[in-house]
Every structure is written in structure tokens, then in C-alpha cells.
């Protein structure tokens, strides 16, 4: 059992600021131990939080939070921040229904001023806040903490470019956990960083600027370059200087003797935006995380001593694994298959593809827009790119999906992982909109498998389809236990399948929600109600043939999908409105979709129930529909 006498005194950052500096290092040890203990019991994001323990303490120690605002990019690293901002007692509820979010969340705490939970947004949002502050004539600091991974996204540079021109007071901390803390990031670097971040140097620099502006242009340019490149010789900040930021660093992000004086210096910095480059170690202080390839980015519950993750044992592979296995199998035959991920190799299963075909695997970083257009370029030259991106992340590349793929009718294959509700990651990571936003685009084939065999067949279908873009969505989690035979056939484009023929109504299911529909069908059968159940497979092109066949003899239609209104149901409704039998037979139609609200973090099963997509709600909906006649 760990003891935390210092941490026990902290109910909010005000209490932290009462500590002496010599208490901060032992406090960091306690906070690190607490975080390991906590996440071992709840699961969640660990490595990123371990890497920012000292930074988190230093920021709340130096700055006057919550008046001064800290914006954590993505929020994976915000657990230590939550612990010392009054939420320690609730951390056991992390990522559980009704509990704390795994990301920063505005409605959760005054210490969370922004909570996007998608990467690379912190600088943009912080700049917006700085403008709002200045318009109101207020005076407080805004600090954006962004990781080196998030800096691979174009949005971060767009924001920096804008901030550099606007010259608002803004502090950006680049948390670089991708480089080792080598000697250049030691004492000399810290001394120089302290020197150039201090008021004396900045005052001299500003005085020199006033003199320089009276000199001839040629000499002025030379002196400006000498000053900038002189600091960059030690610090490597040329890129950020060119974007208009005053650069300080790199410094050791685990050393309070380096962090505290520099943060004190920049707190009083008023001459435009400033970037502090700190170097940290992801997973710091816990050897299983430090030694792990992914630094324990996201973990299930685990044994602290061994680091062994405790997972529910299942012989049923995940949908992600089924996709990965089938793509690898097909790529052994077809040399034109190429896989693309946007910084999620493990999450999309493409890490296994990389091992087999390193020359045909590309991780483009957190750059979904680039990933899509990059894939379009490959497709234009006859290759078969598979763009494997989470549904919620593909939203960030919607313009490219339309303009660079759709309009040009290029055969890019979209493997859309984490489609539908995703459990503990909550609303920010739920794939709620892809059916709607892809079905709206001309030229697109939009598919969804109902089980793992159907997914494997859709991978093959996508490989064989060369007439335009094609997408298939699949959920987080395991399948239902269907074995994939060695030889599988592709699916005919636009062809659904009949699951069960009945007489009382038609239930048309789209995607893996078919499982709930089948449970509902069993309950209805016991009540002497016999639906015709159809697995649509395609939202676009819709299998109008099978629908036309059954609306001749049925009076009621229910569609079910794990997506928002305007998706699959809209495709069905549009078709029905063009069919004379729909009006002639006075057919009634009911669409069951995700509700018009964001679904908070919980288990996937509970989210399905809260959304009204569970078998019990489907059963009740059908009963009410039939009883209303």
C-alpha cells in the first residue's frame, strides 16, 4: 500500500502553492505512484500521464490556476492534472458510466477550460482565448501543452502561424517525449534557456530591436539572423522562430530546477507568443511502461509488480484483428495493396501489416487530411490503398474525402474502425456520423458487416472494386465467434441478404447491430409476431430489389443502425418515397438511430441501451408500432 502524506494535503492547486520547492520532488514521486496504482485498477491512458508529472506540478505551482488557464492537448496526459485539481476522490470512477471522463471536460471542472479530446487543437483554442482575454482587457496567462506527436498535424502549424502574426501573449509548451534526455538537454541547455527566457535578456533584445530599426536594411537583416540563429545553435528553435514564436529550450521536463525558473520567467513574458520546448520520457518512473513499445499509452487493468495487463480472455478475435488478418492475406497475393494509418498502427491492426510488408505500409502521423489525399495519389496510379482510420478521426479529413477522392472517383478503400459507440472513450471517440457523411457523397460505396465473416468478405470486395471509392465500417471489440474459412467470396455490390422471412413486418438492420435485432426477433416470435429480418450490408447502393419484394406483402418497416439520423435510414426513406407500393399499401416506417445527443463514456453495452438500440427497445418499438393500428 502506497503512502502519500504530501499529496493528501492537496485538495486544489492553492494548497500545492503553499509547499516549498524542496517538497515538489517527493510530491512527484507520490503522484507518480498514485497514478500507477489508480490506472492499474481502472485502466486508461498511463504512459502520457507518467511523462508529465513534474510538468503538471510545476505549472500549477507557478501559475495561478484556474485564473491562468492550462489547455492539455488531447487530454491523454491529464490524469495527474485531475488528481491535483480536486478530483482525486473520484478518480476510481474514471471512464465509467457517470464517472470522470478520460479527457479534460469543461462540464467536469473549472480547471478544464477546453476539452476537445482530438489532438492538435490546443494552440488554436488557446489563441482564441487570448483574443477574448485581450478584447475584455483582462490579464491572465494561457498555456497550451502539446505533445510532439500532436505537432505532426497541420492544424498545430496553422495555429502557430496565425499566433506568430497576431503577437498575442500566449505560452505553448511542446512536450517532446520522442527524444532522449541527452547531455545537450542538461545543465548547459537549462542555463541558456533560463538566460534567454529571463527579463534581462528580453529587455536587452527589445532595446537592440529599437536600435536595429534605424540601421540599413541589409545590416538589420544580418543582425536579426545572427541573434535568431545564435540561440538556435544551442536550442534548435529556428522553425518556431520563423513562425513568430520566441523559442526557449530544450530543457529537462523532469527537473524542477530547470522547469521552475523558466516558467517563472515566461509568466511575465508579454512580448508575443512564446514556445518552451521540454523533453520528457513517456512512461517515466514505471519500467514496464518505459520498456513497452507503446509506452503503455492505453492499458486495461494491470498487475503493478509485473506490468501484466489483465484482460478478459476470449478466443474470439476483434473486428480490428479480422480486418488486419484478411488484409495481410490478400496483400500476399496482390502486390498493389498498400496500407495507410494516421498515427494509429496498433489501434487499426496495421502494425502486423507493417511487419509483413514494411515497404507497403505508411504511418503519416496525426494527419488524416494528408492520409486521404496521399491515398488518392496512390489510387490515381493504379495502386490499392487502404486508408485505415477511426470513424471519429476520418471526420477531420471530410473535405479531402469529397474533393480529392469523391469528385475524382478514385478507388481509395476506407477501413473505418471504431464505428458506432466505443465505450470508455465516450462521445469524442464514438463513430456516430460516418454512415451519414459518407452516404451523402456521390460515387461512394458504403458497406457495414454484420459479423466477422462479412467483414472479411468486405475486405475482399473492396480489393476487387476499382470503379470508385469504397468504405466499410466496423466496431470496437470482439466479433460473435464465426470462423473465417480459407476461401471466401466477395460480396456483390449493393446486395443485402435475407436472414429470416416472416409476415408481420420488415426489420432492416445495418451493421453489427444485427445481433440486437436477432435477439429482438426471438422475443417477438415468442409473442407470435414474425418479422422478416434483412441484413442490408450496403447503405449505398441500397438493395432496393429486396426491399421492393417485401413491401408488397408487409405493412410495417423498421430500420436499425448504430449511427445518427440521416444515414442508412435516410437512404431507405428516400427509396420508399419513390416507390408506388409504399403509398399504395399505406406502409408505416420507423427508424431506430442514435439519439440526438452525445452519449457519455460507459460500457458499450450500456451505451447501446442508453441509445435505445438494444433488443428490448427494438422489441418495444415493434410492439407499439403494431398496437397503434
Active site residues: 282, 368, 396
Contact predicate 73/122, CB 8 Å: yes
Give the bridge partners for 171, in sequence order.
143, 274
Task: Record the cell numbers describing residue 90, joined without a space.
Answer: 473520484
Task: Find the helix packing angle between 187-197 and 256-267, rounded to 10°.
Answer: 10
Cα 319 from Cα 233, distance rounded (Å):
49
Residues with Cβ within 8 Å of 97's Cβ and at least 6 positions away in sequence, in order, are: 600, 601, 602, 603, 606
Task: Record the cell numbers describing residue 495, joined without a space.
Answer: 446486395
Give the bridge partners for 273, in sequence order.
170
Residues with Cβ within 8 Å of 89's Cβ and at least 6 positions away in sequence, in order, are: none
> Residue 6 burial by CB count (10 A; 0-12/13-18/19+): exposed, middle or buried?
middle
Task: Find the helix packing angle between 514-526 and 615-627, rounded to 10°.
Answer: 50
Residue 402, number of CB atoms within 10 A of its CB: 18
Chain centre to alpha carbon of residue 454 = 26
Cα 563 from Cα 592, distance rounded (Å):
9
Cα 318 from Cα 436, distance rounded (Å):
25
Looking at 97-186, list the stretches that DSSP marks H as alpha helix, in order from N- to C-terminal side.
122-135, 154-166
CA count, 13 A, side-chain hemisphere, 452:
21
Amino acid at each position: 500500500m502506497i503512502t502519500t502524506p504530501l499529496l493528501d494535503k492537496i485538495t486544489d492547486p492553492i494548497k500545492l502553492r503553499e509547499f516549498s520547492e524542496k517538497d515538489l520532488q517527493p510530491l512527484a514521486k507520490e503522484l507518480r505512484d498514485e497514478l500507477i496504482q489508480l490506472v492499474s485498477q481502472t485502466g486508461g491512458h498511463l504512459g502520457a500521464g507518467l511523462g508529465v508529472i513534474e510538468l503538471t506540478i510545476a505549472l500549477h505551482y507557478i501559475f495561478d490556476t484556474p485564473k491562468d488557464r492550462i489547455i492539455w492537448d488531447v487530454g491523454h496526459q491529464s490524469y495527474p492534472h485531475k488528481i491535483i485539481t480536486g478530483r482525486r476522490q473520484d478518480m476510481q470512477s474514471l471512464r465509467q458510466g457517470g464517472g470522470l471522463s478520460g479527457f479534460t471536460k469543461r462540464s467536469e471542472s473549472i480547471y478544464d477550460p477546453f476539452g476537445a479530446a482530438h489532438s492538435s487543437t490546443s494552440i488554436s483554442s488557446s489563441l482564441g482565448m487570448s483574443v477574448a482575454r485581450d478584447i475584455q482587457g483582462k490579464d491572465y496567462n494561457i498555456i497550451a501543452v502539446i505533445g510532439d506527436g500532436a505537432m505532426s498535424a497541420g492544424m498545430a502549424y496553422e495555429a502557430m502561424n496565425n499566433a506568430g502574426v497576431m503577437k498575442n501573449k500566449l505560452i505553448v509548451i511542446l512536450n517532446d517525449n520522442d527524444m532522449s534526455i541527452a547531455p545537450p538537454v542538461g545543465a548547459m541547455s537549462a542555463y541558456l534557456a533560463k538566460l534567454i527566457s529571463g527579463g534581462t535578456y528580453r529587455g536587452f533584445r527589445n532595446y537592440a530591436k529599437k536600435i536595429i530599426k534605424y540601421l540599413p536594411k541589409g545590416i538589420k537583416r544580418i543582425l536579426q539572423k545572427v541573434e535568431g540563429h545564435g540561440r538556435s545553435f544551442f536550442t534548435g528553435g529556428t522553425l518556431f522562430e520563423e513562425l513568430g514564436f520566441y523559442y526557449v529550450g530544450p530543457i529537462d521536463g523532469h527537473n524542477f530546477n530547470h522547469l521552475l525558473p523558466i516558467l517563472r520567467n515566461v509568466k511575465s513574458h508579454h512580448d508575443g507568443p512564446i514556445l518552451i520546448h521540454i523533453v520528457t520520457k513517456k512512461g517515466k518512473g514505471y519500467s514496464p511502461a518505459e520498456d513497452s513499445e507503446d509506452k503503455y499509452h492505453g492499458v486495461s487493468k494491470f498487475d503493478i509488480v509485473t506490468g501484466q495487463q489483465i484482460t478478459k480472455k476470449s478466443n474470439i478475435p476483434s473486428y480490428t484483428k479480422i480486418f488486419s488478418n484478411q488484409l495481410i492475406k490478400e496483400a500476399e497475393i496482390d502486390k498493389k495493396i498498400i496500407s495507410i494509418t494516421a498515427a494509429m498502427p496498433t489501434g487499426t491492426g496495421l502494425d502486423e501489416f507493417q511487419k509483413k510488408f514494411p515497404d507497403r505500409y505508411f504511418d503519416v502521423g496525426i494527419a488524416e487530411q494528408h492520409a486521404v489525399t496521399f491515398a488518392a495519389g496512390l489510387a490515381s496510379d493504379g495502386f490499392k490503398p487502404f486508408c485505415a482510420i477511426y470513424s471519429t478521426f476520418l471526420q477531420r479529413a471530410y473535405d479531402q474525402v469529397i474533393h480529392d477522392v469523391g469528385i475524382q472517383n478514385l478507388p481509395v478503400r476506407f477501413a473505418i474502425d471504431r464505428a458506432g459507440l466505443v465505450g470508455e472513450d465516450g462521445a469524442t471517440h464514438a463513430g456516430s456520423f460516418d454512415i451519414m457523411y459518407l452516404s451523402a457523397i456521390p460515387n461512394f460505396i458504403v458497406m457495414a458487416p454484420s459479423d466477422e465473416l462479412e467483414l472479411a468478405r468486405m475486405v475482399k470486395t473492396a480489393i476487387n472494386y476499382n470503379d470508385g471509392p469504397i468504405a466499410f465500417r466496423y466496431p470496437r471489440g470482439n466479433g460473435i465467434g464465426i470462423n473465417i474459412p480459407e476461401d471466401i467470396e466477395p460480396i456483390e455490390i449493393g446486395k443485402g441478404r435475407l436472414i429470416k422471412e416472416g409476415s408481420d413486418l420488415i426489420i432492416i438492420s445495418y451493421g453489427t447491430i444485427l445481433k440486437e435485432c436477432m435477439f429482438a426477433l426471438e422475443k417477438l416470435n415468442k409473442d407470435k409476431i414474425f418479422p422478416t429480418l434483412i441484413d442490408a450490408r450496403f447503405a449505398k447502393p441500397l438493395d432496393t430489389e429486396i426491399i421492393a419484394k417485401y413491401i408488397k406483402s408487409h405493412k410495417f418497416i423498421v430500420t436499425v443502425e448504430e449511427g445518427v439520423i440521416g444515414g442508412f435510414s435516410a437512404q431507405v426513406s428516400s427509396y420508399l418515397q419513390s416507390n408506388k407500393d409504399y403509398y399504395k399499401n399505406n406502409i408505416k416506417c420507423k427508424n431506430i438511430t442514435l439519439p440526438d445527443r452525445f452519449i457519455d463514456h460507459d460500457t458499450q453495452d450500456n451505451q447501446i441501451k442508453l441509445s435505445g438500440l438494444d433488443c428490448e427497445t427494438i422489441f418495444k418499438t415493434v410492439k407499439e408500432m403494431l398496437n397503434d393500428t
